[in-house]
Amino acid sequence: MKQLIRITREFSFEMAHVLVNYDGPCRNVHGHSYLLYVTLSGIPLNDRNNPKNGMVMDFTDLDNLVKTKITDKFDHSVVLSKDFDNNKREIIAEAFGNTIIVDYQPTCENLIVDFAGRIKKELPAGIRLHSMRLYETAKSYAEWFASDNE
């Protein structure tokens, strides 16, 4: 009997951001140690001759995908909205180096939507992104579920 299984992998990265027009201290450049949980669903491969037999997806392949699409880009970066002041953006880019400009306010909520989009379109046939959880602090996270966004 085929069983749908979910697998999850944890990733960590360091990232700074600025929230434009925010009414609290996060309007200033500040960073977080992010934890990202990526959960996929699928039916494990049933082929005794395949080295991936019994797997939904090899964790190493998932690791490489998330590394390529998310952590290699965002780790040790400063993420700014395109609405951030141009003069300040240039100063920050010079001072910090790896600066990413996005089309959204870089909140935890918007980041996870972006990350889900980057992963979903790269998954092999038969495997789907079930959910993602992004911790911005030890006590605060945003979640994305495929079932909520179909």
Residue among 76, 90, 122, 143 flagged as catalytic: 76
Question: For this structure, is 76 an active site residue?
Answer: yes
32 labelled catalytic: no
**What are the helix (H) ranges across the chain?**
59-66, 72-74, 86-96, 108-120
3-state secondary structure (DSSP) of residue 77: strand
- Domains detected in the chain: 5-148 (3.30.479.10)
Q: Which of 13-17, 46-50, 90-94, 142-146 has the lowest mean pLDDT?
A: 90-94
For the chain, give the mean pLDDT.
95
pLDDT of residue 94: 87
Catalytic residue among 26, 32, 108, 109: 26
Task: Tell me what the mean pLDDT of segment 42-63 comes to.
Answer: 96
Q: Is the pLDDT of residue 28 over 90?
A: no
